Structure 1
Amino acid sequence: MGIILTVLAAIVVAFAVFLWLRSPGTVRPVLDAAGDPVPGSIAEKVFVTINGVEQGMFIRSADLRHPVLLFLHGGPGMPTYVLEQRYPTGLEQDFTVVWWEQRGAGLSYSPDIPPETMTVDQMVADTVALADHLRDRFGKEKIYLMGHSWGSFIGIQAAEQAPDRFHAYIGVGQLTNQLESERLAYDYMLAAFRAQGNADMVRKLEAAPYEATIPLPGAYMALRDAAIHTAGIGTTRDMRSVISGIFVPSWLDPEYTLQEKLGIWRGKWSSSSVQLWNEVLKTDIRVEVPKLDVPVYFLHGRHDYTTSYALAKAYLQQLEAPVKGFYTFEESAHSPNFEEPERTRAILISDVLAGAADLRVVE
């Protein structure tokens, strides 16, 4: 028994050393096509006090003359900068991209954050305050705002409240009515697994039926992520597990320190993230935000049931805005910015930066 314990202890120590060596926290530079650092580029990790709480972000740009793009990650509480390692977006070639990790998430996690400040209203206020900071730092009258999933929930509300700060709002996997979206996802998965002959997943879903309650049924939530990713309608079309697709890569990402990596998962699994998720379920964005005073563009994967493609498309049709565009990504699920990055960049350049002035529904 003593030998076994000694071996196990050695394995634990070796693994801890491995993680420490994989966690220098050094930001990778912006490189050109030859693999050399781009002169005049920036690649940095910075911390800024936003509404009384220190919050972190990665900033990447090949040229500081680029327009500024503030990216709001999903979750709640789940930074997606780690996906840049496997799915590079290339956005820094056209924008100064700010990968902000929101209050209580990732770089911005702290057990000392007052729990009463972990609200939707506070997240929206933080978004506007950070936009002001970025406008001042980079000398821009306005910036671009891109929200992904949960980030689209707070992003579209920030764009409604402070349109004078933003050139345009871009919703990626735009969230609308999540209670209805969850029902559509459950029905789709049950039918798809039956058609595939996946008796195990059918049995599990039938044993954990969806009900439109807040919070959602515990049995359904325990199965949800695994079912969505097995069905290919989750984070990306090819991601079959959040363990192999996000959890493991997050621990191997050298741009975070070990403490920052712990912060990613402490923030994701915090009670505050659960409370924010329940706030999402209570809110119908179609009712909450019927009008925007900035150009608005939705980028949505055809195979996205994490946030419903059909609901987002219908919402944009009814949303009042000076400029509107809806873009279907045929090879994507929930993250077309990561899954089809070249097309994403092309749309941002051809329509968003140009301010295309009519309703475009691009299939």
Structure 2
Amino acid sequence: MSSDGGSGPQPGFDWRKAIADNQTLPAAGVEDHRTVRIGGIDQWVSVRGSHRDNPLLLFLHGGPGSPMMGESWSFQRPWEDFFTVVQWDQRGAGKTYRSNGRGHETDLTIDLMQADAEDLIEHLLERYGQQRLVLVGHSWGTVLGMRIALARPELLHAYVSIGQVVNMRRNEAVSYRRTLAIARERGDLEAIADLEAIAPYPDAAPLPMSSMLVERRWVEAYGGMIHALAQDDEVQRLRMSPLYDEFDIEATEHGALASVEALWTELMCIDFDEVRSLDCPFFVIAGAEDLATPAELAREMFDQIEAPHGEYIELPRVAHYAFLEAPGVVLVKLVQLVLPLASVDRV
């Protein structure tokens, strides 16, 4: 594979080095890229920030099995002026999947993943001498994020949700209905045939994972993942990453499917409909065009939850990946709404 994915500068240009050079942190900064022993296995983290006194922010990636460490170069550097940002390749994902070998992900459970996350939070707080951190969950990461906010709010300055999963079957039902409506409106016969073939979705029992993969194909094609793109080139971003090599990319591709398959039955039972309160600040960032985790359900959840502080932010012309599609807006919201809470907590 070429390092530029077949586009951009001429072959031989070292994208990874160029981007790494552009990511240089001040001398007072923090830059750790290492494994942490969590839950009996070595798990990879990247910790970066302009000053070690800044609040910690742990990013919980989606998937499950879809890490953001390799792509973080594309949006994260400005965050690092305000927060010490931790990217974590969860059990079954990316560099952690590669380090522990295939087959390890077969033992995945949501309880185990939550325990990993809580252990990592405690490790980070101790290592960097802080009492609490900001927790940002995206997509699958919002499942872990909500569970941690409910179970261990004392560890958090705030929980920030991007692409919140509310109730997996209701999420999928709304996603399917909206996607099929777009297909019919456009007269897209291929999409209509594909989507009608998996009906009743997601009410089939048992619901095969293959049905979700079919549905997600059209969610992506209609801009429901990244609104401006019918097909997102995630691999291109990974090939430009200073933190990933080709073996990490291959591991990411294998780990993503393996992790979803291992957790499939549990995933379809996720349900936060009865949550009414949180004992930590709660912020929701939703993309108005998100077909994977529809904003209407995230709004409904936010409105029913009492929390010490909070705000619901819905972004127009943005879908599932708000931090990629509107990185400046997301950062401004983190700095305006969340950073002051972290600063007050640390006085």
d(CA) in 2 for partners of 1:72, 1:105: 12
- How far did residue 30 of structure 1 move? 7.7
Equivalences, count: 333
Does 1:179 find its partner at 2:169?
Answer: yes
Write the deviation string for residues 301-336 of structure 1: whole angstroms up to 9, x where unpaired. 011120121111101111232222111111210111
Please, which of 190, 206, 229 is the counterpart of residue 200 of structure 1?
A: 190
Amino acid at match of 2:224: I
For structure 2, list consecutive stretches of 5 or more residues without a partner in the other structure: 6-11, 343-347
- How far did residue 49 of structure 1 move? 0.4
For structure 1, list consecutive stretches of 5 or more residues without a partner in the other structure: 1-14, 357-363
Mapping for residues 164-243 of structure 1, pairs under 5 Å:
164-209=154-199, 210-213=201-204, 215-217=206-208, 220-234=211-225, 236-242=226-232
Mapping for residues 266-285 of structure 1, pairs under 5 Å:
266-270=254-258, 272-285=259-272
Please, which of 89, 103, 107 is the counterpart of residue 101 of structure 1?
A: 89
Asked if the contact 2:288/2:295 (under 8 Å) is kept, the reply is yes
Write the deviation string for residues 248-267 of structure 1: whole angstroms up to 9, x where unpaired. 43345342133322221221
User: What SS does the aligned partner of 2:340 have?
Assistant: coil
Asked if the contact 2:138/2:164 (under 8 Å) is kept, the reply is yes
Q: Which residue pairs with 2:310 in the alignment?
A: 324
Q: Which residue pairs with 1:304 in the alignment?
A: 290
Q: Which residue pairs with 1:7 in the alignment?
A: none
d(CA) in 2 for partners of 1:306, 1:91: 25
Q: Which residue pairs with 1:10 in the alignment?
A: none
Write the deviation string for residues 127-163 of structure 1: whole angstroms up to 9, x where unpaired. 1111111101111111111110000001110121111
d(CA) in 1 for partners of 2:125, 2:320: 29
Asked if the contact 2:292/2:320 (under 8 Å) is kept, the reply is yes
- % identity of equivalent residues: 29
Asked if the contact 1:29/1:43 (under 8 Å) is kept, the reply is no
RMSD across aligned positions (CA): 2.8
Write the deviation string for residues 10-43 of structure 1: whole angstroms up to 9, x where unpaired. xxxxx48999x99998795585xxx865332233
* TM-score computed with the length of structure 2 as normaliser: 0.86
d(CA) in 1 for partners of 2:13, 2:261: 30
User: What SS does the aligned partner of 2:273 have?
Assistant: helix
Amino acid at match of 1:348: L
CA shift in 2, pair 1:191/1:225, >3 Å: same
d(CA) in 2 for partners of 1:327, 1:196: 29
Does 1:249 find its partner at 2:240?
Answer: no
Amino acid at match of 1:182: E
Asked if the contact 1:23/1:256 (under 8 Å) is kept, the reply is no
Please, which of 314, 332, 337 is the counterpart of residue 346 of structure 1?
A: 332
d(CA) in 2 for partners of 1:30, 1:119: 39
User: What SS does the aligned partner of 1:299 have?
Assistant: strand
- How far did residue 83 of structure 1 move? 3.3
User: What SS does the aligned partner of 1:269 have?
Assistant: helix
User: What SS does the aligned partner of 1:286 have?
Assistant: coil
Which has the larger displacement, 197-206 or 62-71? 197-206
Q: Which residue pairs with 1:334 in the alignment?
A: 320
- How far did residue 92 of structure 1 move? 1.1
Write the deviation string for residues 55-98 of structure 1: whole angstroms up to 9, x where unpaired. 00122211211100000000011112333344456211211000
Q: Which residue pairs with 2:9 in the alignment?
A: none
Does 1:69 find its partner at 2:69?
Answer: no
Question: Over alpha carbons, which structure has the higher Rg?
Answer: 1
Q: Which residue pairs with 1:11 in the alignment?
A: none
d(CA) in 1 for partners of 2:13, 2:247: 12
* TM-score computed with the length of structure 1 as normaliser: 0.83
d(CA) in 2 for partners of 1:147, 1:331: 21
Q: Which residue pairs with 1:49 in the alignment?
A: 37
